Amino acid sequence: MDGKGRWVDNVFIERLWWSFKYEDVYLKAYETPRELERGASAWMVLLFLSGLSNRRNYHDPLHFAELFGHYPLASTLFAFYTGPPREISNPTHSITCRAHPENRAYYEPVAGSRQHTSTFHGPSSFESKIVKEEREMHHSSILRMQWFLDHYASRIPHENVRVLDVGSYDVNGSYKHLFGDPKYHYTGLDMAEGPNVDIVLRNPYDWHSIESDSFDVVISGQAFEHIEFFWKIMEEMTRVLKKGGLLCLIAPNGFPEHRYPVDCYRFFTDGMLALARYVSIEPLHAHTNCAPSEKADGWYSESSADSMLIARKPYDGLPQHPDFKSYICVPEKHKRFRGDLLPYHRLKGVKRLIYKIRNRLL
């Protein structure tokens, strides 16, 4: 506490922990730290769901948890911390929570048709938070791709716009639904057969089966950090892009290590601009952890931010590289490339406390 608004801080904290002690700790008399961790997490999740259920006119938070389709992991955490394994389903997700005997957390995608079935295992609240933030990071990625579609791709004048999604395997969602307009012809590319994959590569660095200059839009999100030699993928993405075509790349700037099967890199605005320079394409937009407004829900993150690049290919054929013998690094002004988007500013005082609690519960 910094002394400013001290009584407000005290009221908030005292009421929160008074409720926790008398509604949970004193009633259950936990005997081990593990029991206390699970009980505290269950109480916090129940507090969160109760608040949301009240605001949405649901009187039973348990019922609300089962209707929690757009935040499926919150339902999973609630089921794990408050009782035996149970399934919570909706038309597009089926999530089963099981305690794993090795006391480790992992997330298994199961291939299906249009439905996406996942199994989440894990007793650790920290590990659960990592998987939770992966879903949140993907949500921020969806928002950015929608922004790219609204401000750039939708302005392509001709019909029959061919779109290639690099790393399209549907693990926790995909971009395909964003390109539902008949003018877009979406193709998913990945290394394994599965949901939302149309082209399967046996070698990620050899795309000989795809002709040069064959796509109007090439996108990739949350994939480059898992590619050992991502600059080679950047070359192939540029090669298959038509002259005048648009490239959109979204990659994490933050987030804990999440190997799938490896986790190699994190990206900043300068790194995104460097990728554009590497293949001599024109950067139109680049940012890290920015949003259309300070109150734009889902865009900002303190620990799981995204970086984004939008660029245009100004030539035909194979990727062109700068003359590295004479190349000189000239730092760009980030404001020029982020446009009207606003950068994230770290919150302080009571606002930061409230942000951390909401981030932990949501």
> DSSP string spanning 56-119?
TT-S-HHHHHHT-TTSHHHHHHHHHHHSS--EEE-SSEEEEEE--TT---EEEEE--SSSEEEE
> DSSP string spanning 179-226?
G-STTEEEEEEESS--TT-SEE-SSTT--TTS-TT-EEEEEEES-GGG
**Higher-confidence position of 5 and 162:** 162
The DSSP output letter for 159 is: S
Q: Residue 294, Cβ neighbours under 10 Å: how many?
A: 11
pLDDT band for 311, please (50, 70, 90 cuts).
very high
d(CA 109, CA 101): 20
d(CA 198, CA 176): 12
pLDDT band for 206, please (50, 70, 90 cuts).
very high
pLDDT band for 348, please (50, 70, 90 cuts).
low
Residue 74 φ/ψ, nearest 5 degrees: -60, -40
pLDDT at res. 118: 33
Please tell me which of 76-85, 287-296, 351-360 the model is most confident about, judged by mean pLDDT: 287-296
Tokens of 19: 């409720």
pLDDT band for 11, please (50, 70, 90 cuts).
low
pLDDT at res. 301: 86
**Higher-confidence position of 6 and 285:** 285
CA 24 → CA 14, 38, 39, 317, 358, distances in Å? 15, 11, 8, 65, 20
d(CA 203, CA 183): 30
- β partners of residue 200: 190
Domain range list for the chain = 6-131+350-361, 134-345
Single-letter amino acid code for the residue at 125: S
pLDDT band for 18, please (50, 70, 90 cuts).
confident
- The predicted model gives 74-91 an average pLDDT of 43
- β partners of residue 93: 116
- β partners of residue 166: 189, 220
125: Cβ–Cβ under 8 A, 6 or more apart, which residues?
37, 41
Tokens of 311: 């660029």
- The predicted model gives 196-206 an average pLDDT of 94
Residue 359 has pLDDT above 70, yes or no: no
pLDDT at res. 315: 97
d(CA 264, CA 244): 31
Pick the CATH number of 134-345 from 3.20.20.70, 3.40.50.150, 3.40.50.920, 3.40.1190.20: 3.40.50.150
Query: Do residues 281 and 316 make contact, with C-beta atoms less than 8 angstroms apart?
Result: no
CA 354 → CA 350, 360, 362, distances in Å? 6, 10, 12
pLDDT digits (tens, 9 = 90+) for 251-269: 999 888 888 889 999 999 9
Residue 101 has pLDDT above 50, yes or no: no
pLDDT band for 353, please (50, 70, 90 cuts).
low
pLDDT band for 50, please (50, 70, 90 cuts).
low
50: Cβ–Cβ under 8 A, 6 or more apart, which residues?
61
Residue 250 φ/ψ, nearest 5 degrees: -125, 130
pLDDT digits (tens, 9 = 90+) for 270-307: 999 999 999 999 999 999 999 998 888 789 888 889 99
Give the side-chain half-sphere CA count within 13 A for 188: 21
pLDDT band for 6, please (50, 70, 90 cuts).
low
Tokens of 152: 């750039």
Percentage of the chain modeled with pLDDT above 70: 66
> DSSP string spanning 229-291?
THHHHHHHHHHHEEEEEEEEEEEESS-----SS-------HHHHHHHHHHTT-EEEEEEESEE
CA 135 → CA 2, 75, 172, 260, 294, distances in Å? 34, 13, 7, 14, 21
